[in-house]
């Protein structure tokens, strides 16, 4: 991806161009002029005409203050998820009960950026609604939409894109052929006797770039003359059924259909079966989902490689490893063929089974040294996991699988910044009735996970209702695991609502139940950290330290990083409390780096707040105030009114008092305003800077290392963990 940076801070996510851009000079200029004078521009045209490539080319030449951000909408099947897709592309995660649109409006209100919405045609109503509202309330925003139809929003400027001109089409074929066949010489200076056939081939393909790309992939096996001969046959077969369709649509379908017919039977079969994937996929998934009935698993790699060579698939490097992707138009064509084979239901079930299995593996491996790998894997697989959830939750006999899948992904909803989406799936899951023991167990898990998510969002009423139902049904069915989790999360609820004695009682009981059933994972360790917070809030900081040191040891033994970060936070507070700012900073830096990698917003903001307190203790009051301003910008996304609680507010108040005393009110407020204008990545970067030599400062009122200082309270409960980061 294109990583536009200013001062080391990413300002965009445009993909890098991997192939040479050919032609389109007048269209590039027209689109650039439209963006100069209009805030909403839509590039329209038939599928495969090159709309996305043109838009990306022009967008890459723009330099708004806060960057250029592309949202790929092709994997979005439900219009309800358009807002979520934009939130995710911008790197935003909101753990409040706010709708994602409210999150977008808050984020974009003061920013200057270009938003590229790519592939709007199948979700045009949602895109139109979102775009109109964003443009109306974010004056620094410009939107470049790409689709087969306009959004029909007031003020929209439409730039229709026609096929390539003949000379450009020939050039594109020559360039792509040269890339695939070094020395093939399909340029004008080396066409030789094939010059006229190449021109005719480009004309017959109507200059549509996708069709030409597919043709270039065949030049190694067929001459232009041979392709023309085969193209004639396929035109008649594939355009005779619907003469009312637009000529360009018939031509594109012909181009894809022609490429399809040139494939071997095994290649056509794999093409059809791969159409069940949404977004990208890896080789192992393709081997499992697509094998059988004419395609052995050990042959999938060779057949997939053949499709890759023919540009039916593209290959991409990701944090989760090598993955493959099918263009949306090509996938839709394969989907039609899959339905025609009568094998669609079986393949979709295999797709669901694979992703249920993947979620099971990821949940287990979350408590291991592969925790970060798991986070990256689920990020990459999220479109397919959504597809599996949708399939399971809409099939009457598969509700228990949907409930199981929604619950098994708890670590992703909670630990990786997707509380809002997780809650949507969980609420849908618990409304269903699933028969049998498996169904009962799956629904109980979905209930306690739903309660956990609602706790973290600050939705006390819904959290309590879900957890009470889970506890009641678990006791009725004698399910000790579900009882333990329901009790644990009810203890979390007591903790965040300042009922410390009840929180301690429930958390101790839940931990005892976990030991009895042999349960040990990140949830259990978080329960111990939460108990430590309850002890600290009641004045026993040494016991809190003991509990968190134990969590730290277990985490290090198992390679666990997420729960460890919250233990480090408590230990860092204790270090500061005991007058050890250097140790406190080391612990907090470790905590903040981990939370940031996991997209954990609450973990990040808690660490920044405490780092501000450490920074003022080191003698840099101005930087401490800047960090407080940055934290203030992050807090609204967490979802809970932490600053209304005496337990959570102490570090902020102590830091503010010391900084105001040293800077004066006017200078302090100026530094806070500067920090509030920073992005989350910028705040995290500043917080992690190495400080100068510590400067001893008088302890603010209510803090210290003596007995009187024991009244100071730790900043926040790890149970209030969010999943949002600096994007």
Please determine, for residue 188, whether its predicted confidence score (pLDDT) is greater than 70: no
8 A C-beta contact, residue 369 and residue 307: no
Angle between helices 680-687 and 601-617 (to 10 degrees): 40
One DSSP character per residue, 463-521 reads: HHHHHHHHHHHHHHTT-HHHHHHHHHHHHHHHHHTT-HHHHHHHHHHHHHHHHHHT--S
The yes-or-no verdict on residue 89 having pLDDT over 70 is yes
Q: How confident is the model at residue 342 (pLDDT cuts 50, 70, 90)?
A: very high
Residues 206-219 pLDDT 10s: 888 888 887 887 77
* Amino acid 324: pLDDT: 95
Is residue 642 scored above 80 in pLDDT?
A: no
Residue 157's beta-bridge partner residues? Answer: 41
pLDDT given for residue 724 in this prediction: 32
* Highest mean pLDDT out of 192-196, 254-258, 688-692: 688-692
Average pLDDT of span 557-561? 96
DSSP SS3 for 445: helix
**Cα 197 to the center of its chain, rounded Å:** 46
Q: What is the pLDDT of residue 590?
A: 96
Sorted by sequence, the CB contacts under 8 Å of residue 301 that are 6+ apart come out as 283, 287
Q: What is the pLDDT of residue 498?
A: 87
Q: Distance (Å, rounded) from C-alpha 669 to C-alpha 182?
A: 63
Considering only residues 167 and 710, tell me which one the structure prediction assigns the higher pLDDT. Answer: 167
Residue with more model confidence, 389 or 237: 389
Q: What pLDDT, on a 0 to 100 scale, did the predictor assign at position 75? A: 87
> Among all chains, which residue has been given the structure tokens 């059924």?
241
Instruction: Find the angle CA(271)-CA(275)-CA(277) to the nearest 5 degrees.
Output: 125
pLDDT at 34: 97
CB count within 10 Å of CB 582 equals 12
Only one residue has tokens 């009423």, namely 461
pLDDT at 723: 33
Say if CB 181 and CB 219 are below 8 A apart: yes
The mean pLDDT of the chain is 86
Burial of 370 (0-12, 13-18, 19+ CB in 10 A): middle
Work out the average pLDDT over 574-588. 92
pLDDT value for 719: 35
pLDDT at 222 over 80: no
62/83 Cα distance (integer angstroms): 24
Query: What pLDDT is recorded for position 311?
Result: 77
Q: 101: which 2 tokens?
A: 């649109």
User: Using alpha carbons only, how large is the chain's radius of gyration in Å?
Assistant: 29
Q: What is the pLDDT of residue 252?
A: 63
Cα separations in angstroms, 450 against 80, 361, 504, 511, 553: 20, 21, 22, 20, 29
Least confident interval from 89-98, 219-228, 499-508: 219-228
**157: alpha, beta or left? (left if phi > 0; alpha if psi -120 to 50):** beta
**Token pair of 531 as six digits:** 């108990």
Nearest CA among 288, 290, 256 for reference residue 276:
290
Residue 237 pLDDT > 50: no
* 271 pLDDT tier (thresholds 50, 70, 90): very high
Does domain 5-160 sit in CATH 3.40.50.300?
yes
Specify the range with the lowest mean pLDDT, choosing from 190-194, 398-402, 421-425, 505-509. 190-194
How many angstroms separate the Cα of 231 from the Cα of each of 142, 175, 241, 532?
A: 42, 21, 17, 72
Check residues 49 and 669 and name the one with the higher pLDDT.
669
On the CB side of 580, how many CA atoms lie within 13 Å of its CA? 11
In eight-state DSSP terms, residue 42 is E
- Confidence band for 205, pLDDT divided at 50, 70 and 90: confident
CA-CA distance, 68 to 391, in Å (whole number)? 34
Of 420 and 447, the one with more pLDDT: 447
| Mean per-residue pLDDT, 211-233 | 77
Between the alpha carbon of residue 47 and those of residues 212, 246, 321, 332, the distances in Å are: 13, 12, 29, 11
Q: Which fold has domain 343-478?
A: 1.25.40
pLDDT at residue 370 above 90? Answer: yes
pLDDT at 236 over 60: no
In the chain, domain spans: 5-160, 166-262, 265-342, 343-478, 563-720
Average pLDDT on 346-370 reads: 97
Is the pLDDT assigned to residue 596 strictly greater than 50?
Answer: yes
Looking at CATH, the fold of the domain delimited by 265-342 is given as: Arc Repressor Mutant, subunit A (1.10.10)
Angle at 262 between CA 260 and CA 263, to 5 degrees: 70
Local structure of residue 68 (DSSP, 8 states): E
**Residue 361's pLDDT is what?**
97
Check: CB of residue 592 under 8 Å from CB of residue 626.
no
More confident: 578 or 272: 272
Q: Are the CB atoms for 304 and 266 separated by under 8 Å?
A: no
Least Cα distance to 486 among 508, 505, 501, 468 occurs for: 468
pLDDT confidence bin for 615, thresholds 50/70/90: very high
Task: Provide the percentage of residues in the chain whose pLDDT is more than 90.
Answer: 62
The pTM is what? Answer: 0.81
d(C-alpha 209, C-alpha 202), whole Å: 9
Q: Higher model confidence: residue 373 or residue 712?
A: 373
* Side-chain-facing half-sphere of 698: CA atoms under 13 Å: 6
- Beta partners for 71? 117
Using the predicted structure, report yes or no on whether residue 235 has a pLDDT greater than 80: no
**257 alpha-carbon distance from chain centroid:** 34
Backbone angles phi, psi at 191, to 5 degrees: -70, -35
Average pLDDT over residues 457-478: 95
User: What burial letters (b/e) apply to 557-581, b meaning 16+ CB within 10 Å?
Assistant: ebebbbbbbbbbbbbbbbbbbeebb
Cβ partners under 8 Å of residue 656, min gap 6? 625, 628, 668
What is the per-residue pLDDT across 697-717, written as a single tens digit (0 to 9) for each? 334 333 333 333 333 334 433
Q: Find out whether 461 and 418 touch, Cβ atoms under 8 Å.
A: no
Listed in sequence order, the residues at least 6 apart from 176 whose beta carbon sits closer than 8 Å to its beta carbon are: 19, 212, 213, 216, 217
Mean pLDDT of 314-343: 89
Tens of pLDDT, residues 19-73: 789 999 999 999 999 999 999 999 998 778 899 999 999 999 999 999 999 999 9
Residue 639 — very low, low, confident or very high, per pLDDT cuts 50/70/90?
A: low
């Amino acid at each position: 991806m294109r990583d536009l940076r200013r001062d080391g801070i990413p300002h965009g996510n445009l993909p890098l161009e991997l192939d040479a851009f050919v032609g389109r000079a007048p269209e590039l200029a027209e689109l650039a002029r439209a963006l100069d004078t209009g805030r909403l521009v839509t590039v329209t045209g038939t599928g495969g005409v090159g709309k996305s490539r043109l838009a990306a080319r022009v967008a890459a030449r723009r330099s708004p203050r806060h960057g250029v951000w592309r949202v790929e909408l092709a994997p979005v099947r439900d219009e309800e998820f358009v807002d979520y897709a934009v939130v995710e592309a911008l790197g935003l995660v909101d753990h409040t009960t706010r709708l994602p649109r409210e999150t977008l409006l808050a984020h974009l209100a003061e920013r200057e950026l270009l938003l590229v919405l790519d592939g709007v045609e199948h979700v045009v109503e949602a895109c139109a609604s979102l775009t109109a509202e964003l443009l109306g309330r974010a004056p620094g925003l410009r939107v470049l939409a790409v689709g087969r139809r306009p959004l029909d929003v007031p003020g929209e400027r439409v730039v229709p894109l026609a096929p390539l001109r003949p000379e450009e089409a020939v050039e594109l074929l020559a360039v792509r052929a040269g890339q695939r066949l070094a020395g093939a010489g399909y340029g004008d200076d080396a066409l030789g006797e094939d010059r006229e056939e190449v021109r005719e081939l480009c004309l017959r393909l109507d200059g549509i770039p996708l069709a030409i790309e597919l043709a270039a992939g065949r030049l190694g096996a067929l001459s232009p003359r041979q392709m023309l001969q085969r193209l004639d046959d396929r035109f008649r077969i594939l355009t005779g059924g619907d003469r009312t369709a637009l000529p360009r649509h018939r031509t594109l379908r012909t181009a894809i259909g022609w490429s399809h017919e040139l494939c071997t039977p095994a290649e056509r079969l794999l093409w059809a079966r791969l159409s069940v994937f949404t977004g990208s996929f890896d080789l192992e998934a393709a081997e499992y989902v697509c094998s059988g009935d004419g395609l052995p698993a050990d042959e999938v790699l060779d057949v997939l490689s053949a499709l890759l060579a023919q540009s039916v698939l593209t290959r991409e490097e990701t944090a989760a490893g090598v993955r493959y992707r099918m263009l949306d138009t090509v996938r839709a064509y394969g989907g039609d063929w899959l339905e025609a084979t009568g094998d669609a239901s079986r393949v979709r079930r295999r797709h669901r089974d694979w992703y249920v299995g993947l979620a099971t593996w990821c949940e287990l491996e979350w408590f291991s040294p592969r925790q970060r790998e798991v986070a990256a894997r689920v990020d990459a697989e999220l479109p397919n996991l959504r597809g599996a959830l949708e399939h399971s939750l809409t099939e009457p006999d598969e509700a228990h699988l949907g409930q199981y899948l929604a619950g098994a992904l708890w670590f992703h909803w909670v630990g990786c910044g997707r509380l809002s989406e997780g809650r949507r799936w969980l609420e849908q899951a618990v409304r269903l009735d699933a028969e049998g023991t498996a169904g009962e167990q799956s629904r109980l898990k979905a209930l306690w996970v739903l309660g956990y998510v609602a706790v973290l969002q600050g939705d006390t009423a819904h959290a309590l209702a879900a957890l009470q139902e889970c506890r009641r049904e678990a006791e009725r069915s004698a399910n000790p695991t579900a009882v333990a989790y329901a009790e644990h999360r009810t203890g979390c609820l007591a903790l965040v609502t300042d009922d410390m004695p009840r929180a301690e009682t429930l958390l101790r009981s839940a931990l005892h139940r976990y030991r009895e059933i042999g349960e040990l994972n990140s949830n259990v360790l978080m329960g111990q950290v939460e108990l430590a917070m309850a002890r600290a809030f009641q004045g026993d900081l040494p016991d809190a330290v003991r509990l968190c040191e134990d969590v730290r040891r277990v985490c290090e033994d198992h390679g666990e990083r997420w729960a460890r970060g919250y233990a480090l936070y408590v230990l860092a507070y204790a270090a500061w409390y005991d007058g050890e700012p250097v140790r406190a900073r080391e612990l907090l830096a470790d905590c903040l780096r981990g939370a940031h990698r996991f997209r954990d917003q609450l973990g990040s903001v808690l660490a920044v707040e405490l780092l501000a307190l450490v920074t003022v203790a080191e003698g840099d009051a101005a930087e401490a105030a800047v960090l407080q301003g940055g934290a203030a910008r992050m807090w609204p996304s967490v979802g809970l009114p932490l600053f209304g609680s005496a337990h959570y507010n102490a570090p902020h108040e102590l830091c503010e008092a010391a900084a105001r005393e040293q800077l004066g009110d006017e200078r302090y407020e100026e530094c806070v305003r500067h920090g509030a204008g920073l992005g989350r990545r910028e705040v995290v970067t500043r917080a992690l800077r190495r400080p100068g030599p510590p400067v001893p400062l008088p302890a603010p009122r209510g803090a210290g290392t003596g007995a009187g200082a024991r009244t100071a309270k730790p900043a926040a409960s790890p149970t209030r963990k969010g999943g949002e980061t600096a994007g």
